Amino acid sequence: MVKVKVKEGVLEGEIIENVYGNHFYCFKGIPYAEPPIGDLRFQAPKPKTPWTGVRQAKQHGPVCCQYDYLKTLQTKGEEDCLYLNVYTPNIKPQEPLPVMVYIHGGGFVSGSGNDDLFGPEFLVKHNVILVTINYRLEVLGFLCLETEDIPGNAGMKDQVAAFKWVQSNIHSFGGDPNKVTIFGESAGAASVSLHLVSPMSKGLFKRAIMQSGTLLCPWVQTHKPRERAILLARELGCMSNNDAEIVKFFKNIPAEALVKKSAPLIYVEYFRTSPKTFFGIVIEKQFGQECFLSNGENMYDVLKDGIHEGVEVINGHTEDEGIVYFAMGCNADKEIEQANKLIEFYVPYDLTIHLPLLKRIELGNKIKEYYLKDRVVSKEHIDDLLRCLSMIYFVYAAVTWQKICAKRNKNKLYFYTFSCKSERNIFARVLGGKFISDRRTTVSHGDDLSYIFPCKIALTKVDINSKTYQMIDQVTMLWTNFAKFGDPTPDSSMGAKWMPYTIENQHYLDIGEKLTPGTSPNKQDMDFWESILSRILSTISFLDLFKLKV
């Protein structure tokens, strides 16, 4: 057992033997804010009040109320969920250690920072500290009535509170508050990209890693949040048009009643099988509160001036991101049916809600023609549809984010594609379906996680003498080198040099069994998308992307 003193009191953790290296110190279930319950529901988190005596930190804190998509298929968690975990290789190092703060994904509706998926064993052996966090999800975290009582973005403000806690306390665990890297995957990666532009987050970290998600992804921003909040209230039984009464209703309804809720406003949201984000990020209206985001009308507005100056960033995606959309919403057969019948299937969601019908049909036809020619979509040539879905939901947003930020020339940026293939590609097997995995080994959305974390919920211990472990060691070395030096390949030991991405050279690294440098990632597909969007959407003023001439 081991004790540390933080700003709020004394914590007692434990020493854990690492099967992949030396022991580490483990502190779980640390409250970083007051429970967001009662009048604090939907509000920005409040600082945690100090406690007396010694607080046990050996068990994870409660996860946020959510639907358990992975195991029980039931609601789990609690509203009192603002806890984090700290894993450190050394409480009193000779020099303070770099800190890596992980933000979990899950579409803003599910997940946690618990070690069943996000354990520290692979990372801490490289002499860094890992912090994982919980934050409010779905309605509890992202409902927005556009009022002072429910302004939106509560879950993002939770993350900011966790970063502030790290700044105040990480030195007690041997960490350096001036060397904090935030990183995340999927919705966690989109969160990272949002912290790179939010005034609330400025100065709270030095580096950032975005794995398969940016704020430009079509599933990040919630449009018409007030209308969705009122629709949800009515579906739950509140028919009032009075804001005060709606707020009172939302603050008193049991938290479990706010789990797994949807609020489709248009037909395409109601019928489309692919998952939608009904309660996500909003651009807040001012009511005197500190806003997470408040400038502009859309994420291109938010990004047009670039990100916080001087922050170093890694950004990238997996080889087959689109596989995730075959498992969500319905199933692969239903996705294929919609791909064949509905031309709007091919139009990114954020464009669907802004474009008139004829423009949607024109854009959908162009995209389908490019990827599938005149063929009927079937399981025999599913790879073309996968490539299309990957571009729509992840890749186009990732490369466009990179180009916009590189054009500003205020940050050192790196870009990657992830192509590691082994028995640890669990999402490809589970999500992709037999008809994909039998044909080739794929790298799905989420498959990078098992090369950074043990993912004990689904995988057993890996042989340290195997090729798989060599890939794990390689990936975690890149990530931790970046956290330490701001350069993932600071010397020749990695066998390849990962060059920074610039608008002139567009360097990137393919991270597979070997490290393969390249230039102009996804060039053919990006040329098509940039051409077709600039031509069809030239009259749509909200797309500042094309004004930036990236």
Query: What are 148-169's pLDDT values in tens digits?
Result: 999 999 999 999 999 999 999 9
Question: CA 499, CA 315: separation in Å to the nearest integer?
Answer: 13
Over its C-alpha atoms, the chain yields an Rg (Å, rounded) of 23
Q: Looking up tokens 């700290």, which residue turns up?
A: 86
Amino acid 549: pLDDT: 38
Residues taking part in catalysis = 186, 321, 445
**pLDDT higher than threshold 80 for residue 5:** yes
Name the average pLDDT for the chain. 92
- Average pLDDT of 397-425? 96
Partnered with residue 26 across adjacent β-strands are 14, 87
Contact 385, 326 (CB under 8 A): no
Structural domain spans, the chain: 2-302
For 2-302, CATH gives 3.40.50.1820
Residue 103 φ/ψ, nearest 5 degrees: -110, 115
In 10 A of CB 361, how many CB atoms?
A: 14
Identity of the amino acid at 419: S
Provide the 3-class DSSP secondary structure of residue 123. Answer: helix
- Per-residue pLDDT reduced to its tens digit, 219-251: 999 999 999 999 999 999 999 999 999 999 999
**pLDDT higher than threshold 60 for residue 539:** no
Question: CA 432, CA 73: separation in Å to the nearest integer?
Answer: 20
- Average pLDDT of 43-59? 98
Partnered with residue 407 across adjacent β-strands are none
> Helix H segments across 218-310?
225-235, 243-252, 267-271, 299-303
Amino acid 436: pLDDT: 65
CA dihedral sign, ordered 70, 74, 79, 85: negative
- Per-residue pLDDT reduced to its tens digit, 374-384: 888 887 778 88
- Per-residue pLDDT reduced to its tens digit, 67-98: 998 788 899 999 999 999 999 999 999 999 99
- Per-residue pLDDT reduced to its tens digit, 422-481: 999 988 877 655 556 566 788 999 999 999 999 998 899 999 999 999 999 999 999 999
Amino acid 352: pLDDT: 84
Amino acid 338: pLDDT: 85
- Per-residue pLDDT reduced to its tens digit, 253-273: 999 999 999 998 887 787 776
The model's confidence at residue 548, banded by pLDDT at 50, 70 and 90, is very low
Contact 145, 243 (CB under 8 A): yes
Of residues 142 and 385, the one with the higher pLDDT is: 142
